[in-house]
Every structure is written in C-alpha cells, then in structure tokens.
Structure 1
Amino acid sequence: MGNLIDVAAVMRQLGPGSEKPEAVCRHRSTLATSYTFDEGARWSWRRQPTGRDALAGLVFVDVPVTVDGDLGEERAEVGSAVFLHPHRDLHLSAQARGKAVGVWLPWDSLLEVETGVQSPRQVLTPTPLTVGLGAFLTSLLVQPSDATPYTDYLVERVLAEMAFGALLESVPKNVAGAREDRPIDRARSLMLMRRAEGEFGVAELAQEMHMSTRHLQRMFAAENSAPADELRGMRIDLANELLGDPAYDSLSISEIAMHAGLRTPSALRRAFAGRGLPLPARARSERMPVG
C-alpha cells in the first residue's frame, strides 16, 4: 500500500518547531503518533512533490487549534480532525496546552478520494466515523500489543479504510457528482470492515443495518446481487491477498482461511473452486520461487 513512513519523515513535514511524538505505533505502511504541546505551539506542514513517496495525515486534537492553509483560515474545535494534504501548505496553531493523536498514511492509499472538482476539506467536522477513528488511534497508542503479521495487515487496512471514509464524508455535498450515502454502500463498507470475522454473516449485517434479513436481501437483489455472495467474494479477495504477499508466507493455509473469515481450509478450497481459482496451496506454491 505504499512506502513505509517513519517518524523522521513526519517531523520533516511538520517543520522545525515540531516535537518528537510521545508514543508511536506502526502497522506496515501506516504510522500512529501522539503528542503533548504547549499553548502557541505551531506546526507548519509543507506541500510535497507529486510521486509515490508523498504522505498524508489526519490529526485529532483535544483543544481548539487555528488552521491556516491554502483553503483559508479555520478554527478546528475539539473533536474535529485536521487533514494534512500532501500537496497543500498548512499551519496549525494551538490555542491552549493539549494533546493530539495523528495517523500518517501513503497518499496513494487515499488519493482516489478526490477528483479534479472534488477535494476533502482541511478541517473535518466530527462524525461517528471521525470520532471512531480518533478513538481507535488513541487505543492503539495507549494500549500497545504484540502485533503479528496478520494483525499488522488488518490494522493497516482498517486505518486506511476509516481515513478514506472520513475524508469522503468531508467532500462538499453540493459538488456535482458527489457520492450519495446509499444504504447498500454502507452495507458493503461494513462487510469490508468485518469480512475477516468468521462469525459475521448476513444476519449480523442486517442487525447492524437495523433492518430485517429479508429487506437486506431485497436491497441487494435490486442490484442483481446477494449479500452472502458479496461477503464471500470479499473473503476470497482477502485470502488471495494474504497468499500473494510474501510477508504472510509464515501463515499456514489453515491460518489463512481463519484470518480471511472462511474458518477452515476446506471452506477456503470450496470458495476458491467456486470462483474457478487454483487451490490455495497451489496458488502459493506457484508464486514462491523454487529453492
């Protein structure tokens, strides 16, 4: 999903006045950091050249800050998120002593959120998604745990998906072509977020969507689809990604099945066969070089 981001790269982008983070948590290409800053502290985010090495950030503060950037001056209240776009200059000034948490991601994992006429705002107002992302970051930084290759992958994906969703929500709704928030899109987002959970199925999805299973199935049928089929497809895609990434060669086929939400190797084999794919063990062996 892009190049690794280190603390030094973030500090360079935040300017000479930025302090070192108090806590750091890395999950593959994503980085979470926390800070304590004094009243009047100032960060100066500088625009970066275009290219694969560009990084973006979302910062959550517990005190108001002044945001002065290419889109004008705004005040970010407590609970808001400040978007540090890789190709915009931005200055943040703290109005009081406080704390902040931030997530830093490769821009190529987020750039699809904007087009030539749509672009995320520089201050994201609180929504359940932005509040949830801030709380998740705080949890990662306050309660660090020993990560496995799979949890690294899963947290990276969750952070990227949540950041993408938060930025998408901030795109002005009056812009022609802005995406509508349809129930079926929310259902697909939930499936993508929870596809690795083997116990998550159509009944659980309907419960989270606050609708009956029959209504959920009718909603998908209107688009010539079925929620069970789409969820199975997402799990197959996840298993394929894990089998195709050398970083997960230490996982057995049984572990791949479990981490992809398919529970057992036989269920994984049936799912692959149903899509006309090579058996999982064969798919991995064909990728791995002969010793």
Structure 2
Amino acid sequence: MPAGSLRKAIADCLGMDAMASGLVGLQEYRSALVTSHRPRSASWLWAPAGRATPTTAVVFATEGGVALSGADAPARGILLHSTHRTELDWTPGTLATVVWLDTDSVVDSAVPASIDAAPLVDTSLVSGLKAFAESLTRRAEVRTKVSAYLVERLLVEMVYGVLLERKETEVPAQQAQRPMSRAKMLMLLNRADPEYGSEDLARDLHMSPRHLQRLFAREGSTPAAELRNLRAELAQTLLRDAQYDALTIAEIAGHAGFTNPSAMRRALQAVGAPAPQAIRAR
C-alpha cells in the first residue's frame, strides 16, 4: 500500500486527523510509516472495522505511558492488529512512537488477519523494535531507494515476529510448546537469514540434529525442505511486488534467504513455481 493510502487508513482507524492525534513527526519508508505523537486527548479509539484498509500498528510510549482502557498499569507497548474496537489511555505528557504497516504485509499462513489488541511483554524482539522505531523518528537522513527498502523490510519482519510471539501466547501452553509448532515458528522468523539452517534450528529447539530429522520425517518432510519452501514463498512475494522492482534478482535472492540466485531458482522449481524473471514479468 502506498504511504499516502496508509496515512488515510490511519485517520480512518483513529477517527481523527494528524493534528488531532498530536502528530509531531512522520517518517515514510515506502509502504511503512513511523510516527511520533504528543496525544492531545486522554485516549485514542482504534475502530478500523469497515472503515479502512486493514492496518497494523505497534504503539510505544517513549515518554509517559500507554495502556488498554481499564488496565491496571501502563504497558511497554500495545499491539493493534485487530478489527475490534479498542481504546488506548495515555498518561499526561506522553510522547508516543507508532509503527504503521499494511496488514497484508505481515499476514500469512502462520499469522491471521486479526489478533486481539494486547499489551506487549518485554521480549528482546519488542525491545529491539521499540529502539529501532524511536531511532528513526530522531534522525533526519538522506534516503536512497535501497535504504528505504531495507528499513521497510526490517520493520515488516520485526512486526511479523512480534505477531508470531503474540500468537504463541494465545494458544494453549501445551500446544505452543509442541516441538513441531516451535520449529515452524522459528523457521518463519529466520527464513530470510541465508546462514540459518537445520543445525541452527536443532540448537534453538535444544535437540540433536538427528532427533530434528526424525521429527520432520513423521510428517514426510525434512527441515531443509521446509526452510527451502518458506524461502521460495518469500521470494515469490518479493518478485511479484512492484515496489521491489528496483532490486536485482540477486538482491531478491539474498533478502529471501538464499545464498545465490541459482539456489533460489532451484527452490522455486522444487515448489512448481516459474523462474524468477517469469514471476516478475507477470
């Protein structure tokens, strides 16, 4: 979604314009926005259902505090990836930093289009996203197409990771801890890293590589094949999106988690997809 459309979606979600929201800063990175606000009212009402293009936001209190209405204490941040009405309460003098994304960019087979609004726990990923977003609002810099693309991708991947973490807390504890469920989540989080492989996955799951192979064999697959398929899925997404036309095939391969374009072509062929140039030409 173009940033201009996303700005309109934000106004629709909050039912107020930029001035009313206390907007004091805005940075655009292709389809992603990072904004800072001094809220003029004591609360914001998130009410996107039926009014806007689906939008996902992560709200942080850089100064002061933010909480879901009725909560006992302020939270480090609030995840807004929902079609349900949600009210946020601000403490006086709050400076807020908000990451806004098109929901379609962070939704796939592992993340549904709506997850209930929730306070964020203080994980390494949440802390990293907060620090990164705040740094973007504080620095004025000359951007190139490539740098804007890289910042956008980092924001999308980090918010996607936050959504995966949140989804894991919503399922029953015994299901969340099932080795295969955790394995698939870890592969999704690390698929864009060309260095991440079966041995890394086994280490993260605290099991031997042999046990990991047996785990996937029960489902008729292997860890390497699953990682390859996830990377092929990501490559097709990037190749089909006109926003990434400035990137070469080799750059797409790197951002999709492949060590070289040939590895990407073989992975696409293995899942029955056309060659990279053919996908991009469609």
Q: TM-score range by the shorter chain?
A: 0.7 to 0.9
Cα distance between partner residues in 1 of 2:274 and 2:9: 43
Q: 1:31 is matched with which residue?
A: 33
Q: Work out the CA distance in 2 between the residues paired with 1:217 and 1:30.
A: 38
Aligned to 1:185: 181
TM-score (norm 1): 0.73
Write the distance in 2 (CA, Å) between the matches of 1:244 and 1:80: 33
Q: Which residue does 1:211 correspond to in 2? A: 207
CA distance in structure 1 between the partners assigned to 2:245 and 2:277 by the alignment: 11
- Name 2:222's counterpart in structure 1: 226
| Partner secondary structure for residue 236 of structure 1 | helix
Q: How does 1:246-261 map to 2 (within 5 A)?
A: 246-261=242-257
Amino acid at match of 1:57: A
2:10 counterpart residue number: 9
How many residues are paired up? 271
SS in 2 for 1:251: coil
Corresponding residue of 2:23: 20
Whole-angstrom distance in 1 between the partners of 2:243 and 2:253? 16
For 2:231 and 2:34, the matched residues in 1 are separated by: 27
Alignment of 1:272-287 (within 5 A): 272-285=268-281, 287=282
Q: Which moved more, 1:103-112 or 1:24-33?
A: 103-112
TM-score by length of 2: 0.75
1:50-89 equivalences in 2 (<5 Å): 50=50, 53-61=53-61, 62-68=63-69, 73-81=70-78, 83=80, 85-89=82-86
Structure 1 residues 127 and 264: alpha-carbon distance in aligned structure 2, compared to 1, 3 A threshold: closer
1 or 2, which has the higher helix percentage? 2
Relative distance call for 1:98 and 1:44 in structure 2 (3 A) is closer
Give the drift of 1:103.
Answer: 1.9
Contact 2:43 2:90 in 1 (8 A): yes
- Partners of 1:81 and 1:126 within 8 A in 2: no
> Do 2:13 and 2:52's aligned partners in 1 also have CA atoms closer than 8 Å?
no
Which residue of structure 1 aligns with residue 44 of structure 2?
Answer: 44
Percent identity at matched positions? 32
Q: Is the 8 A contact 2:76 2:121 kept in 1?
A: yes
Residues 156 and 223 (structure 1), Cα distance of their counterparts in 2 relative to 1, 3 Å cut: same
Residue 64 of structure 1 and its aligned partner are, at CA, apart by 3.8
Amino acid at match of 2:211: H
Match of 1:158 in 2: 157
Cα distance in 2 for residues equivalent to 1:277 and 1:106:
26
SS in 1 for 2:44: strand
RMSD: 3.6
User: What SS class does the counterpart of residue 231 from structure 2 fall into?
Assistant: helix
Letter of the structure 2 residue corresponding to residue 155 of structure 1? L
Shift in Å, 1:80 = 4.2
Structure 2 match to 1:92: 89
Q: Compute the displacement of 1:251 (Å).
A: 2.7
Question: 1:139 deviation in Å?
Answer: 4.3
8 Å CA contact retained: 2:39, 2:90: no
The amino acid across from 2:264 in the alignment is L
Structure 2: gaps spanning 5 or more residues: none
